[in-house]
Structure 1
Amino acid sequence: MNYEYTYDFNPLKYIGNEEGLTPYSDFPLQWIQSQQSIRPTLSASEYYAVTQGYLREWVCMAQCNMYIQIAQDPFIKKAIEIYRQDVCEPNLTELMVILKNGGYKLPAEYNAISASKSIQELGNIQTGVINDQQIFIGFIFSTMGFMNLWNMGAAHSFRTEVRNAFVRNYHRANRWHLAFHAMGEQMGFIQPQPEIQPR
């Protein structure tokens, strides 16, 4: 391996790149690549992270469907349906594939396809126990929780392909956390963050 670098040392010239890559990233990337497909099995920490993440998304499928049924605003129903399709279904599938490829039994029946029901299929339910504002704010906190969950999963994974799956799951939760926050502000469900003026 050649570690002689002749790049400009000014970091202002290479910040902002995808995934934070710099001209020096080939050094750790070689080591990361060396951990690709090193074994078919999961370590104890990987197995815990994958199964717990799987169960959390398995539950989230049902939660999303329940909130679609209960929400009154058609925009909120549609946003939750798109969220389920963009986040819950692929996140659960990422973890299902890891478990299946390793020969492990799924901790619960895979439901990313069977529970992927449309707004029309799910219909409407009147409960009177939660309103649209509470539902929407709940998604802001749940996506933040998912970001922490997937970050933890990545940190406990030492097979590159397992870690990368958690990172992809993180990116999905990350974009929706900010999206829910922006939508919540626009709908008047939450107040904008106060600005700190420079001195």
Structure 2
Amino acid sequence: MFYDPRTGTHGLPHNPWTALVTPRPIGWVSSRSATDLPNLAPYSFFNAAATHPPFVMLSSTPRKDSLTNIETTGVFAINIVGAELAEAMSRSSAPVPPEVNEFSIAGVTERPCRSIDAPCVAESTVVIECILNRVISLAPKSGLPCDTHIVLGEVTGIEIADHVMRDGRVRTDLIRPVSRLGYLDYAVTEQTFEIPRPGS
């Protein structure tokens, strides 16, 4: 099949787009409002954006409390979701007012970050602390309405639990990160394999 998402319809009962670019890592974003209210929300449009220095990116569609907090305070954290936190992550996606604490809804422990003034999930095996670099609001050339905002964060601190490391390397199979597939489907990375680069 072929369809033009700008002008046509796919004719399917569900939009196939989010099932095509997968698996997508989940950025479990923790932030704090200007009035000191904690916020925790999962973003499946999330990834690393650079290495030296490290940057992350996430996409907010539409504008969410996390984005408002990040723009207001200039800081946020990414909590990597291991398999044991999948249900908690899902609970934190509930559409609730800004004054509701998603840490409580999720049943996870809020604790301070080390390099920034933001909360993070104590149970997460990896926490990536970030300062806001910029927010880019997308403006499609097609003229279609768009309420998508790309957040670029510069990494200021990385915390990795000792038990997910072996021989000086982070072990993905020990983190067992949860990723988003299409629709309401998720996956857990448990089996990995190595392919040497040519010439290495």
Identify the TM-score tier after normalising by the shorter chain: under 0.3
| TM norm structure 2 | 0.21
| TM norm structure 1 | 0.21
Which protein shows a greater Rg?
1
Would you tell me which structure has more helix in proportion to its own residues?
1
